[in-house]
């Protein structure tokens, strides 16, 4: 530390960030984000714990005296870990994971391998959600290295890492394994096992995986064909906020699907409800793209970024078509369309 002002700044940093209460809040926020599939560096809502997480990262990576603050932070992590409190270790694991995602392509190979080895060592004692995400990150980047470069790694190979990550509840790892098992490559095609990984990813929080589960039941891909279970999967996806599931249900209800338990004749009211839900998901996604990443209250729009035009989307067209059909039938149901 170069001068007194730096010493003071680091001491203020310790008082603000290096204490169990703040670390516990940050850690709980991160675990919640991992369960929801949200990437912590770009949070959907800037709650106090998330802001603290981001500020801590900035202080230890971008501040003028970042090296001194990073040393203080790592000392705190080691102290807490020795005394059985691993919340700070969870945060440090996430920082290492995010650094690897952000910098792997720009770092010299040996530096990238060093970062991967650091992440592997840190992740061994992290909580299950964060460990699974770290293993998935390591698997993706390990597969990018040549065989001789992989010899420098302390972690296992990509397949073992993906399998471990999936077992820890990482939906991304389950989807990657299902992709490999469907298309072949590192693994022999195995459609029944691919279907099981689709189901696991869906139950582990990947809402879009429900569409794959539904297609498996529709096509008899890796499991007996079962249109009713296809409908169940799509409804689970819709309940989880999956756009494709909502649109698919809108399509099915707007035409009828005699092979399933759905009525063989169209149900325009239900079709409209699912198309409307899909449109709402679509427009909310566009609003989140226009959110400022800092210096703005949660829910406040950045009006310099125009919202995307979704009036040609499948959801919008389906919503308008089914509403018109209801109007023709004399139904006065109200649809909350975009104004």
DSSP 198-225: HHHHHHTT-TTHHHHHHHHHHHTSSS--
CB 316 within 8 A of CB 281: no
Residue 187: name the closest of 143, 152, 223, 225 by CA: 143
**Residue 39's pLDDT is what?**
58
**Residue 183's pLDDT is what?**
86
Sign of the torsion formed by the C-alpha atoms of 79, 80, 83 and 89: negative
**Residue 294's pLDDT is what?**
37
* Cα-Cα end-to-end distance for the chain: 58
Q: Which parts of the chain register pLDDT below 70?
A: 1-8, 35-46, 285-312, 330-339
Q: Give me the residue label for tokens 């429900």.
A: 210
Q: Report how far residue 278's alpha carbon sits from residue 50's, in angstroms, rounded to the nearest whole number.
A: 28
**Residue 336's pLDDT is what?**
47
Give the number of other CB atoms < 10 A from CB of residue 333.
Answer: 13
Q: Report how far residue 174's alpha carbon sits from residue 236's, in angstroms, rounded to the nearest whole number.
A: 18
pTM, rounded to two decimals: 0.80
Phi, psi of 84, rounded to the nearest 5 degrees? 85, 0
CB 180 within 8 A of CB 191: no
HSE-CB for 11 with a 13 A CA cutoff: 6
| Long-range contacts, stretch 73-77, CB < 8 angstroms, 24+ apart | 73/13, 73/17, 73/18, 76/14, 76/18
**Residue 156's pLDDT is what?**
94
Q: Report how far residue 200's alpha carbon sits from residue 206's, in angstroms, rounded to the nearest whole number.
A: 9
Instruction: Give residue 43's region: left, alpha or beta (phi > 0; psi -120 to 50).
Output: beta
**Residue 37's pLDDT is what?**
59
Q: Report how far residue 217's alpha carbon sits from residue 171's, in angstroms, rounded to the nearest whole number.
A: 20
**Residue 91's pLDDT is what?**
87
Residue 157: name the closest of 181, 186, 130, 128 by CA: 186
Task: Using CB atoms within 10 Å of the CB of residue 153, give its burial: 0 to 12 exposed, 13 to 18 middle, 19+ buried.
Answer: middle
Instruction: Give residue 42's region: left, alpha or beta (phi > 0; psi -120 to 50).
Output: beta
- Radius of gyration of the CA atoms of the chain, in A: 24
**Three-class secondary structure of residue 143 per DSSP:** coil
Give the number of other CB atoms < 10 A from CB of residue 59.
Answer: 21
């Amino acid at each position: 530390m170069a001068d007194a002002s730096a010493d003071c700044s680091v001491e203020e940093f310790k008082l603000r960030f290096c204490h169990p209460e703040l670390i516990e809040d940050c850690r709980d926020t991160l675990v919640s984000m991992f369960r929801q599939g949200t990437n912590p560096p770009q949070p959907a809502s800037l709650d106090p714990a998330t802001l603290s997480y981001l500020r801590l990262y900035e202080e230890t990576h971008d501040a003028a005296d970042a090296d001194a603050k990073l040393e203080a932070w790592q000392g705190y992590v080691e102290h807490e870990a020795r005394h059985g409190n691993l919340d700070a270790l969870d945060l440090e694991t996430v920082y290492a994971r995010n650094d690897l995602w952000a910098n792997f392509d720009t770092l010299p190979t040996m530096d990238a391998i060093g970062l991967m080895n650091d992440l592997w060592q840190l992740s061994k004692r992290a909580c299950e959600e964060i460990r699974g995400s770290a293993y998935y990150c390591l698997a993706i980047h390990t597969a990018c290295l040549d065989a001789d470069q992989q010899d420098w790694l302390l972690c296992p190979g990509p397949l073992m890492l993906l399998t471990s990550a999936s077992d820890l509840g990482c939906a991304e790892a389950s989807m990657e394994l299902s992709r490999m098992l469907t298309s072949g490559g590192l693994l022999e095609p195995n459609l029944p096992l691919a279907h099981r990984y689709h189901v696991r990813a869906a139950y582990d929080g990947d809402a879009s995986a429900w569409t794959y589960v539904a297609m498996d039941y529709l096509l008899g891909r890796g499991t007996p064909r079962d249109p009713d279970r296809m409908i169940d999967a799509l409804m689970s996806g819709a309940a989880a906020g999956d756009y494709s599931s909502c649109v698919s249900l809108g399509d099915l209800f707007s035409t009828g699907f005699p092979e399933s338990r759905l009525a063989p004749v169209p149900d325009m009211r239900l079709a409209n409800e699912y198309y409307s839900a899909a449109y709402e998901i679509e427009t909310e996604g566009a609003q989140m793209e226009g959110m400022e990443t800092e210096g703005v209250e949660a829910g406040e729009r950045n009006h310099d970024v125009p919202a995307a035009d979704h009036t040609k989307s499948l959801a919008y067209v389906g919503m308008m078509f089914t509403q018109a059909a209801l109007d023709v039938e004399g139904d006065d149901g109200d649809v909350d369309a975009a104004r």
